[in-house]
């Protein structure tokens, strides 16, 4: 199949592109500075902030996968940066929608990303399902606007699957290297109380889940993309220490200190809630990495 990935040069997109290419799909990407980047067959030009896209990008495409959006962890959360995080997701999605609407050649499937930050964190053990209401805080409202933009694509009659993604464990970026580095030095410690829930997913499982709807036509709607065995931040830190063969005895890093260092962004590490993956399991998805310690070991080998 011909598959177009928006956000294909990010952590998840790169891994997914390799996996899809290995499955003998033709993988295309979008970039402000298009140039050949293996394993992409071709990179098409776009500027989603200005709603500009090479119309050829959506021609003869079977599947569109939209992962595009400014990283939530790169900068401090000022009002301007928070609005940019929302705009980058909404503008990218609406740019794809406009291109697909204008093109007589429509894909049979649209796959979009969202995040478990959609859900409230006031009750960490709530085990949220996809029909639960969103949080009224920044992360929740960012996801709401993102998913509303995704809905414009499904309004074109294209089968759509939206995945609310948990904390992605990958050795190539994201939370895992940042947390594993101090642990390797024997400096592992819980963050805040350590009781906050961490709904994690191994990047291999995530990419398998994102490609799952391609060969399963009954898969549609919204799914939580997180392991069936969520953990806490303290348990995660201890698992990293065990894999690294290091002690885990330091006192927790106080929440107030994290708030000073990270500002508003501290909620990423200080808050979390459990989410249910029952829907994807019922619809036939099978996880490979369900044990946290095994998953961490896999990533350091």
pLDDT tens, position by position, 176-194: 999 999 999 999 999 999 9
What percentage of the chain has pLDDT greater than the value 90?
A: 92
User: Please, which pLDDT band fits residue 116 given cuts at 50, 70 and 90?
Assistant: very high
Q: Name the helix (H) or strand (E) containing 81.
A: helix 79-102
Query: Superfamily assignment of 2-168+200-226 in CATH?
Result: NAD(P)-binding Rossmann-like Domain (3.40.50.720)
Domain parsing of the chain, residue ranges:
2-168+200-226
Does residue 75 register a pLDDT over 90?
no
Instruction: Report CA-CA distances (Å) from 44 to 22, 32, 50, 180, 193.
Output: 21, 8, 15, 36, 46
- The confidence score (pLDDT) of residue 125 equals 81
- The confidence score (pLDDT) of residue 234 equals 95
User: Please, which pLDDT band fits residue 37 given cuts at 50, 70 and 90?
Assistant: confident
Token couple for 114: 């969202």
Does residue 36 register a pLDDT over 80?
no
213 neighbors 154 (Cβ within 8 angstroms): no
pLDDT tens, position by position, 203-234: 999 999 999 999 999 999 999 999 999 999 99
> Which residues 6+ apart lie within 8 Å of 46 measured at CB?
6, 30, 31, 32, 52, 53, 54, 57, 95
Does residue 5 register a pLDDT over 80?
yes
The strand ranges marked E within the chain are: 2-6, 26-31, 42-47, 52-53, 63-66, 109-115, 159-165, 167-170, 173-174, 197-198, 200-202, 221-225, 231-232
Pairing of strands 159-165, 167-170: unpaired
């Amino acid at each position: 199949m011909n598959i177009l990935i928006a956000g294909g040069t990010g952590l998840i997109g790169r891994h997914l592109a390799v996996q899809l290419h290995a499955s003998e799909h033709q993988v295309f990407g979008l970039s402000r500075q298009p140039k050949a980047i293996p394993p992409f067959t071709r990179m098409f030009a776009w500027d989603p902030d200005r709603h500009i896209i090479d119309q050829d990008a959506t021609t003869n495409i079977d599947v569109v996968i939209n992962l595009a959006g400014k990283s939530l962890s790169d900068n401090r959360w000022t009002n301007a940066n928070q609005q940019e995080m929302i705009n980058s997701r909404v503008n990218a999605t609406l740019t794809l929608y406009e291109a697909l609407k204008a093109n007589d050649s429509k894909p049979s499937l649209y796959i979009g990303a969202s995040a478990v930050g959609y859900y409230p964190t006031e009750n960490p053990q709530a085990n949220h399902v996809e029909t639960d209401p969103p949080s009224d805080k920044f992360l929740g409202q960012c996801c709401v606007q993102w998913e509303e933009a995704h809905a414009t694509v499904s309004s074109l009659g294209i089968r759509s699957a939206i995945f609310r993604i948990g904390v992605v464990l990958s050795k190539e970026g994201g939370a895992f290297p940042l947390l594993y580095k101090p642990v390797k030095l024997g400096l592992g410690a819980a963050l805040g109380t350590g009781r906050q829930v961490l709904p994690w997913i191994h990047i291999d499982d995530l990419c398998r889940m994102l490609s799952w709807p391609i060969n399963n036509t009954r898969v549609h709607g919204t799914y939580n993309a997180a392991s069936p065995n969520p953990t806490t931040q303290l348990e995660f830190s201890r698992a990293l220490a065990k894999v690294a063969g290091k002690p885990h005895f330091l006192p927790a890093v106080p929440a107030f200190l994290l708030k000073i260092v990270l500002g508003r962004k501290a909620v990423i590490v200080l808050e979390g809630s459990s989410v249910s993956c029952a829907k994807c399991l019922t619809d036939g998805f099978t996880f490979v990495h369900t044990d946290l310690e095994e998953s961490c070991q896999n990533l350091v080998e």
